[in-house]
Amino acid sequence: MLRYIARRLVLMALVILGMSAITFALTNVVPGNPARLLAGPHATQAQVDALAEQYKLNGPLLERYGAYMGGLLHGDLGMSVTTRRPVLDDLREFLPATLELTGAALLITLVVGLPLGIVSAMKPGRLVDHLSRGLAIIGVSMPVFWLGLILQVVFYKNLSLLPVGGRLDTFDFEPPRVTGSYLVDALLAGDVTLFGSALTHLILPAATLAVGSLAIITRMTRASLLETMSADFVRTARAKGLGNGQVMVRHVFRSALVPTLTVIGLQVGYLLAGNFLVESVFNWPGIGLYAVGAIHNLDYAAIMGVTLLISVIYVLVNLIVDLLYAALDPRITY
């Protein structure tokens, strides 16, 4: 097991290296001069050159990439042109909001998607099966930014039930920072009112982000359960006289969850990518909104920092998923 983890970590380093090279090349070949954009239209060429030197935007591409990787090995992700702060400090500030939103969306996906897929598989061809499949198709088909706008119109403008965006109300103060998650920090501070405010602000963006993944998890759970229930070992278990509940719990669920677990791991990447649109629609101050601003300003260092961070999270999640396979299926060993 330890050898397997070590090998995967080495491969992860290679993946991150390749991702950094591709992202660095793509961001630097885009037409535009971030130093000119930062200096303003009335700046002199000398001022533009000084800013380019300060933010390491001049010189050959390979030389700049080598300097960037050298700084990365020492924990330096560069300076952000947008915020004029170290990118690492920006990521530390904005990442907790994104993790809170992604975690809430993943929780909704699992709590709703898995039971719905199980019920649909247990009653194929029934009304609940048709409804779940129809909702899954609708969920996959809807653009996430369009759904967010519709939910804002319905629940904020028309019903006045939920806030339109942000993490807290206008006159609320942030809780003392411990984890960066307002829900957790509000509970640690014992402020129930602030916790309720943070929770109500989280509902709409989390639901918007979760819809697409929820539909996929529901469909995958249903298909996997139906396939497993028709397997030979399940028929053998029934022939031995085991009850339906014992067969489902002991044999069907654990085997059927292996492919579903794979899809759940993939959906983490989808949720992280969907944050870019959801955070923009709901003005959620996470790394997605931070990255959108960086793209507008041609902020190479910030774009690289966000890309590398998401890549590391995605690769680590896939490693965890691979390790969970052995817990679900004893035939799998490392």
Cut 0.75: pTM above it: yes
* C-alpha distances out from residue 57 to 52, 63, 90, 116, Å: 5, 11, 19, 52
Going residue by residue through the chain (334 aa), what tens digit of pLDDT does each one get?
778 778 878 888 888 888 888 888 877 776 666 666 666 666 677 777 776 777 666 767 777 788 788 888 888 888 888 888 889 999 999 999 999 999 999 999 999 988 888 888 888 878 888 888 888 888 878 888 899 999 999 999 999 899 998 898 888 889 999 999 999 999 999 999 999 999 999 999 999 999 988 888 988 888 888 888 877 777 777 777 777 767 776 777 777 788 888 888 888 888 887 788 899 999 999 999 999 988 888 888 888 889 888 888 888 888 888 888 777 766 666 6
Identify the H or E element spanning 133.
helix 127-141
Q: Cβ distance 320 to 256 under 8 Å? A: no
Whose tokens are 């278990």? That residue is: 237
Domains of the chain, each with CATH number or no CATH = 94-287 (1.10.3720.10)
Q: Which residues touch 9 (CB under 8 Å, ≥6 apart)?
A: 319
Q: Which residues touch 307 (CB under 8 Å, ≥6 apart)?
A: 19, 20, 23
